[in-house]
Amino acid sequence: MYDIIGSREKAVAVIPDPGLLPRVLKYHKNVKSVILKKGGRKGTERLYETEVIYGDPDTEVVHVEYGMKFRVDPSRVYFSPREAKERQDLAASVKDGEKILVMFSGIGCIGIAMASRKSCEVVGVEINPEAVRYAEENAKLNKLRGTVRNILGDVRDVCPKLGRFDRVVMPFPEDSLSYADLALGCVKPGGTVHVYLFSGSEKEAVERVRESFGPAAEVISWKKVLPHSPKTWKYRVDVRIRGENP
């Protein structure tokens, strides 16, 4: 499976196997560069080791998704076009006036999806400076009803200084659960946390979230988001923090 990222005018293909090159070039005439990804995502910034094996070495594009635009170079920052529908689902649950924290915010696509639909106030926190630069530019590229602010830094340093939010999003499926304590300190009583994680089953995903968040939180819903490996899926588990919203 490969990803096409960009627009009708200019796109890049990200492929896991050089054997896919002829097929990509045959079916996607808008592809100007082909990036070969080697192995899995690595490190804090969740990047692939990559090599441009065809076309323009400049792999920056403007990706178009549900009418929004995201400038991105997939060889330098995390971006997955496969998560477009999930971003829409998440944005659909937001209400006008909400204050939302997106931890691990990348190039800002979740916050922009939310703020394009609703007049909410989004704060994104991301450790990769390149991703924050794109997030800033992307906030300006799109017509927003709400506001988006992007902060460069480690969530552990930045988030405790931001006050409390109605909704916290944790889109770091490899390690979200290690930050459960942090999220609990960032959400208002009655507020919601959306936790992404990889798991072999729905039951296991829900149990792990319950254990990590403890009695202060109640699991209210969950969904299978996307396949991850032959035996694991990416899940989203939603928890509500007990207590009344003051």
Which of 34, 73, 78, 177 touches ligand SAM (CB under 6 A)?
78
Which of 74, 106, 146, 191 touches ligand SAM (CB under 6 A)?
106
How far is the CA of 93 from the CAs of 118, 134, 232, in angstroms? 10, 25, 26
Q: Does residue 56 bind ligand SAM (CB under 6 A)?
A: no
The torsion angle over the Cα atoms of residues 193, 211, 156 and 103, rounded to 10 degrees, is -30
Which of 16, 45, 142, 162 touches ligand SAM (CB under 6 A)?
45
Cite the DSSP H helix spans in 142-232. 155-158, 180-184, 202-213
Joined together, the tokens standing for residue 225 give 């988001």
Site string for ligand SAM, 195-214 (x = CB under 6 A): --------------------
Alpha carbons 175 and 64: distance in angstroms, whole number: 28
83 vs 238 by CB, closer to ligand SAM: 83
User: For the chain, how many residues are written?
Assistant: 246
* Region binding ligand SAM by CB under 6 A among candidate stretches 91-99, 102-110, 140-148, 226-234: 102-110
DSSP classification of residue 135: H
Site string for ligand SAM, 124-153 (x = CB under 6 A): -xxxx--x----------------------
Q: Does residue 109 bind ligand SAM (CB under 6 A)?
A: yes
CB atoms within 10 A of CB 133: 16
Tally the C-alpha atoms within 13 A of residue 214's C-alpha that lie toward its C-beta: 8
Instruction: Catalog residues that contact ligand SAM under the rule CB under 6 A.
Output: 44-46, 78-79, 83, 104-106, 109-110, 125-128, 131, 154-155, 171-172
